[in-house]
Structure 1
Amino acid sequence: MIRRFRYVRLLLSFAAVAALAIAGLLFDGWRQLHAPLRIDGQQTIEIAPGDTLAAVLARMNAQHWLPSARAALYLRLYVRWHAIGGRVRSGEYALNAQHDLLAALDLFLSGRTIVHELRFVEGWTFAQALQAIRANPLIRQTLADAKPEAIMAAIGQPGQHPEGRFFPDTYRFPKDTSDLTLLRQAYAAMQKALADEWAQRAPDLPYATPDDALIMASIVEKETGVAAERAQIAGVFVRRLRLGMRLQTDPTVIYGLGERFDGNIRLVDLRTDTPYNTYTRAGLPPTPISLPGRAALHAALHPDDGQALFFVSRGDGTHVFSATLAEHDAAVRRYQLKKK
């Protein structure tokens, strides 16, 4: 009887020791999973397609970011015990000391990657927007040195001229987003903005199609130095179209000159005929000349109803608007010829 009692006591002792050990392991695991990562400031980690959680943890351990070497084992056991489905998602992630391992796991499973920004500026040409894409090392380049015709075909718009077709805005994207993805997004944004503004356009405008309004908006964008003048400038050009007058706007001439433009527009340039020279040709140019923003689109479709047919720059970004040629000539003498 005594021997049996001793045996039971021994078993109970072993059980108590085992329970204490298990409790110690559970406590240590809880502590390791909730301990902050050993990171100074903010660090990034990239997860490649196909990477496993074990591979990611190994890289974090190599960087000495884990609370301890055994923390990775605890996290793998946690994932298995809780039957957490899904693989870690590829991408670029930001980590800091406010993350513990469970927060890092949630981040990797959620796909909340670092988001970068690329801005297309109002008034840029398509060439400038394309240059910004190609100069960004975070964007995956798939179009290489593709010509504009090939680019438009790649986004599903074969035969369409690219100028003015991409909405100027700030685009947010994760690293390794393709150039084609961003261009499709900007194209769709312009289509929507133009459709929205066209649906709410003022009556009796001299535009046969929304594309005509897009062309006008691109001219307004390039001519406007002060936002408050957009509708006035659009009004001048709309009245000229109605009267059959030539638009005579320098930005279209400059666009038509292309690389020949050296920064100074001369009389010979105004007399050099190109499809975009609105001094030598009537009506709108064949395509937009820039990427117009929403405000320029709105102005082109809601021009002011004044009487001005002319405007000249004061040299400070604003313009003097005139209803008669005599008034315009006087403004030119005051603000342009006197300055020269």
Structure 2
Amino acid sequence: MFRFNKDFFKTLNRPNKRAWIIGAVAALAVIDLFIISANQISFTDEALAKKEITFNVPPGTPASRIPAILEKAGVEVNDFYFKLSLRITGAHKNLHAGLYQVFPDDTVSSITDRLAKGEAYLFSWRIPDGSTYWEVRKSLNAMQGIKHDSAQMTAEALLFAIGAKEQHLEGLFAPDTYNFHANVSDLTILKKAYEHQQAILTEEWTNRSADCQVKTPYEALILASIVEREVGRSEDRAIVSGIFSNRLRIKMPLQTDPSVIYGEGETFGGDIKREHLRKDTPYNTYRFVGLPPTPIGNPTRESIHAVLHPAKTDYLYFINKANGDLVPSKTLAEHNRAVRRYILNKGH
């Protein structure tokens, strides 16, 4: 058997040793050039014309399918090197589903690293302050890239699906911006919004003032939804809450137009008229004393807080000027003067 000894390399003559070194360096250079070249990506003209280049990885997608998915999106990669990079980063074992973005300065390595870390593109969806549940559902149904599992559900089925104990969907979703990955079920999003509102309500109810007039957290949600719709400026929430609390305390009708309008349903698109004020509906707060049966929209934390910490005031009436300024009044005579001056523009 041939054995190396310490004098073996000494037997190599200098020219052969130099050629061996040069060959090794050349081989490494070729490998480096291959890696640099294989690590590059390119885009089709159609892909470059888009504002955003994205590719979707559905749940259960094998890592070997990613190059084909990229190609369909207009991104060309070296198939062999991409799959090798997936193994190096570990993405082949733990591929995260979602919608991913590709940028002009990306490489195969940066894309596979993003896949391995699950850095998927997040969708953003906002529930506007005071929006109704039908506006929330309409907005969510229009979102692309998610599963619309709730689209054909009845209100009763949806309440059950999100784990709500309430009998009505209104007011149950916290106004906020929600971020989520592609392919998520809209039920997951709605459940998150519901649980967020419940957490807010629980915290605010626990720390409520002794002066609040509502008897239950759900009553707080109802009154907060009215305050949400009635204020022209955020800083007026507490005083408007104080006015409504005063009315509840002395058993005076709330007489709030937004509640009447809500009672007309989602198809109502006109101005409120006397005929609406005469209708005998559960939401006509001109015809009965107390709160309507449900919220009339989704209130913010600020409105919930205001209802549970109403301002101490002698005011019973208020209007909002065109610029949003609040004009409170203690008596009906003062209120009528404010209406004539700021609403009817008839001066003093």
Normalised TM-score (structure 2): 0.84
Distance 1:270 1:46, change over 3 A: same
Task: Tell me if structure 2 keeps the 8 A contact 1:220–1:296.
Answer: yes
Q: How far off its partner does 1:43 sit? A: 1.9
1:127 is paired with a residue of what secondary structure? helix
Q: 2:41 aligns with which of 29, 37, 40?
A: 37
Distance 1:279 1:44, change over 3 A: same
> In the alignment, which residue of structure 1 is the partner of 2:7?
none
Unaligned runs of 5+ in 1: 1-7
Q: How far off its partner does 1:82 sit? A: 7.8
Q: 1:322 aligns with which of 310, 313, 329?
A: 329
Post-superposition Cα deviations, 1:163-207, rounded to whole Å, max 9, x if no partner, equal 000001111112222110110010011011111211222223212
Q: 1:113 aligns with which of 84, 102, 120?
A: 120
Q: How far off its partner does 1:84 sit? A: 6.9
Distance 1:42 1:204 in 2: 53
Q: 1:223 aligns with which of 216, 219, 230?
A: 230
> In the alignment, which residue of structure 1 is the partner of 2:291?
284
> In the alignment, which residue of structure 2 is the partner of 1:189?
196
Task: Tell me if structure 2 keeps the 8 A contact 1:32–1:74.
Answer: no
1:303 is paired with a residue of what secondary structure? coil
Distance 2:80 2:174 in 1: 49
**How many residues are paired up?**
329
Q: 2:318 aligns with which of 308, 311, 320?
A: 311
Distance 1:99 1:232, change over 3 A: same
RMSD of aligned residue pairs (Cα, Å)? 3.0
> In the alignment, which residue of structure 1 is the partner of 2:239?
232
1:118 is paired with a residue of what secondary structure? strand
Partner amino acid, structure 2, of 1:28: L
Q: How far off its partner does 1:132 sit? A: 0.2
> In the alignment, which residue of structure 2 is the partner of 1:28?
33
Is 1:53 equivalent to 2:57 in the alignment? no
The aligned runs of 1:123-202 (5 Å cut-off) are 123-157=130-164, 160-202=167-209
Q: How far off its partner does 1:160 sit? A: 2.1
Task: Tell me if structure 2 keeps the 8 A contact 1:253–1:276.
Answer: yes
Is 1:65 equivalent to 2:65 in the alignment? no
Post-superposition Cα deviations, 1:255-306, rounded to whole Å, max 9, x if no partner, equal 1122574412122221211111111111111111111112111211121112
Distance 2:42 2:227 in 1: 55
1:215 is paired with a residue of what secondary structure? helix
Distance 1:146 1:54, change over 3 A: closer
Q: How far off its partner does 1:157 sit? A: 2.1
1:258 is paired with a residue of what secondary structure? coil
Post-superposition Cα deviations, 1:200-227, rounded to whole Å, max 9, x if no partner, equal 2222321211111111100000111111
> In the alignment, which residue of structure 2 is the partner of 1:4?
none
Is 1:209 equivalent to 2:209 in the alignment? no
Distance 1:126 1:100 in 2: 44
Q: How far off its partner does 1:332 sit? A: 2.2
Task: Tell me if structure 1 keeps the 8 A contact 2:123–2:182.
Answer: yes
Distance 1:149 1:75, change over 3 A: closer
> In the alignment, which residue of structure 2 is the partner of 1:297?
304
Post-superposition Cα deviations, 1:108-139, rounded to whole Å, max 9, x if no partner, equal 12211111111110111000001001111222
Distance 1:49 1:325, change over 3 A: closer
Identity %: 37
